[in-house]
Amino acid sequence: MDTLQQKLAAGRFVITAEITPPVSFDRADLVAKAAPLKGLADAVNVTDGAGARPHMAALGAAAILIQEGIEPILQLTCRDRNRIALQSDLMGAAALGIANLLILRGDDPSAGDQPDAKGVFDLDARGLLETARKLRDTNELPSGRKVAGTAAFFLGAADAPIDPPPGWEPKSLAGKVAGGAQFAQTQFCMDPDVVARYTARLAEHGLVGQGSGDLKLIVGIAPLRSAKSARWMREKLFGTIIPDATVARLEAAADPAAEGRSIAVDLIAALAENPRVAGVHIMAPNNDEAVPAVIHGARARIKR
């Protein structure tokens, strides 16, 4: 089967999803969370200490997904490890056959359940991207030591779409692309019109397009459970864009959760009409059971 990178290079519209590894010693608990996405999602993100809370290690969880026939996207944060540990994890990921990496800064420890934990942040996201790219392309550590074998890393970064005002430039994303990012997964953006204006501005700056070498933008969406949860996301999750019309649609629905799934399917179909959008990334915290139905519904609607 084609990999995520191959699908994106071929212009296929991809749908990725996300799981948070369980707080468990038992691999069966992880497999149970991921199994409903097998054969549906093009790849599955494995979060790395999401919410600044401990879970089963992302590197080990991603390796288990490969064994289960699910292509992972390994999230690596700069919060918990210094550059030596991160370089070791990159070598370990390559040895385990993990290619897709999403490089993140990571939530501050103060946001988690052990707020006295010390954040490391020895590297920032761009620095870790540059490290991974150098390891892949030169087989060389920053110290100059040679690394045996090969790494097939497909490097990703996070992004937060905005409705760009006049004169705005995508400097942060451009820096991540310069650092080695080949794809970007975004914060929740549930407004296709904002996405259209945002991607048009990115195209003006040469960041996205339809060429195989351009950055592949994968827009974050959610199957919303209620108007209340939509409003909470807008207020509490930095960068989240949910239109008032969407909130009103949920408010008027007899079954808000079902309406939220329908909204997600409609949104995916609309985003697939934008040639500058390479796919969607479905994040459904505490609503994992909605994701397979949304993917099924979207696959019946999208044409690429």
pLDDT, one tens digit per residue, over 1-55 is: 899 999 999 999 999 999 999 999 999 999 999 999 999 999 999 999 999 999 9
As a whole number, mean pLDDT of residues 140-161 equals 97
CB 211 within 8 A of CB 290: no
% of residues, the chain, pLDDT over 70: 99
Give the distance, in angstroms, between the CA of residue 175 and the centroid of all CA atoms in the same chain: 18
Instruction: Give residue for tokens 């970064």.
Output: 157
| pLDDT of res. 211 | 63
pLDDT for 155 beyond 60: yes
pLDDT for 286 beyond 90: no
Residue at 71: amino acid letter: E
Structure tokens that stand for 63 in this block: 């390796």
| pLDDT of res. 3 | 98
| pLDDT of res. 69 | 98
CB 251 within 8 A of CB 43: no
3-state SS of the chain: helix, strand, coil percent to 5?
45, 15, 40
pLDDT interval class at 158 (50, 70, 90)? very high
Instruction: Tell me the pLDDT of the chain averaged across its residues.
Output: 96
Is the Cα torsion angle 104, 71, 68, 35 positive or negative in sign? positive
Tell which residue, 124, 179, 156, 221, has the closest CA to residue 4.
Answer: 156
Convert the pLDDT of each residue in 10-20 to its tens digit.
999 999 999 99
pLDDT for 213 beyond 80: no
Helices vs strands, H then E, count in the chain: 11, 8
Structure tokens that stand for 62 in this block: 């991603």
pLDDT interval class at 304 (50, 70, 90)? confident
For the structural domain made of 4-159, what CATH number should be given? 3.20.20.220
pLDDT for 212 beyond 90: no
% of residues, the chain, pLDDT over 90: 96
As a whole number, mean pLDDT of residues 114-133 equals 97
| pLDDT of res. 237 | 93
As a whole number, mean pLDDT of residues 231-260 equals 97
| pLDDT of res. 210 | 63
